[in-house]
Amino acid sequence: MYKFKEVGDDYWFDDRKKWMKKRTFEIVADQTGKLFDPDVFTIVWARRFAGYKRAGMIASDMERFHKLMTNTKYPIQIIWAGKPYPMDHPAISEFNALVHLSKGYKNAAVLIGYELALSKRLKQAADVWLNNPRVPREASGTSGMTAAMNGAINFSTDDGWIPEFINHGHNGFVIPKADYANMSVHDQDQYDLDKLYEILTNEILPLYYENYATWRMLMKNGMQDVRFQFESNRMAHEYYEKLYKAPYEGK
């Protein structure tokens, strides 16, 4: 996709994204028997299952989730994938609950595993790479970096690497921070859920279906910004400046 972005060929840029989605949906069909449509807006949540990452948050209000999943004006597909630790019983229960939930929707799928090959395919298939950890628990969340390079737009709570990256509405979408320190966990989860649906239904879906040229520009902005802000040269430079040079000069 990056090659077509650089030469400004929007036709082949779009075609490549659609081809990557179609190829990944063969895996969805193989694992679940469900036939996903590459023309339909697709959300992917894929990473390690852990309580603070809140894999099932979007489905925690069943009335809103059902309305979202049955919306004919702005159709949607959602894929979950990942693994809980073997003895993390709450995460295992959440995974099993999502599997059970997905059986009721032809446009929802839970894939088993999150190995390198599957991770690559899911990032290529995502229109939105969903990341909604409970602030401030996320250390980094770097999967969104490689997702952005594959034309997936990040939609996240404001945690991990996201505060350094997302310019809301320019290269991604971010749930604005609240006064989490003075909130209960329940109130924080409710606030984030409300904002997630507000941004998804009022900003993201109308943009994708009604103004794809602008959506494409957000994709390109994300690809460009992640390339120059988050790469190994920066890592090596910051290691040198902060871990080696600064302590030495302080002596």
Residue 17 confidence (pLDDT): 97
Work out the mean pLDDT of the chain and round it to a whole number. Answer: 94
Percent of the chain having pLDDT more than 70?
99
Is the predicted pLDDT of residue 251 greater than 60, yes or no? no
27: left (phi over 0), alpha (psi -120 to 50) or beta: alpha
* CATH superfamily, domain at 2-249: Glycogen Phosphorylase B; (3.40.50.2000)
The yes-or-no verdict on residue 233 having pLDDT over 90 is no
Give yes or no for residue 142 having a pLDDT over 80. Answer: yes
Residues 33-50 have a mean pLDDT of 97
Q: What sign for the dihedral angle of Cα 155, 157, 163, 169? A: positive
- CB-CB contact of 52 with 133 (8 Å): yes
Q: Is residue 132 a contact partner of residue 106, using CB atoms and an 8 Å limit?
A: no
d(CA 55, CA 77): 15
Tell whether the torsion through CA atoms of 150, 217, 76 and 143 is positive or negative.
positive
pLDDT value, residue 33? 97
Residues 224-235 have a mean pLDDT of 83
Residue-level pLDDT at 188: 98
pLDDT of residue 167: 96
Residue ranges per structural domain of the chain: 2-249
| Helical (H) or strand (E) element with 155 | strand 153-157
pLDDT at position 170 over 80: yes
Q: What is the pTM of this model?
A: 0.94
Q: Residue ranges of the alpha helices (H) in the chain?
A: 2-7, 10-32, 62-69, 89-102, 116-125, 143-149, 162-165, 185-199, 205-210, 212-229, 232-238, 246-249
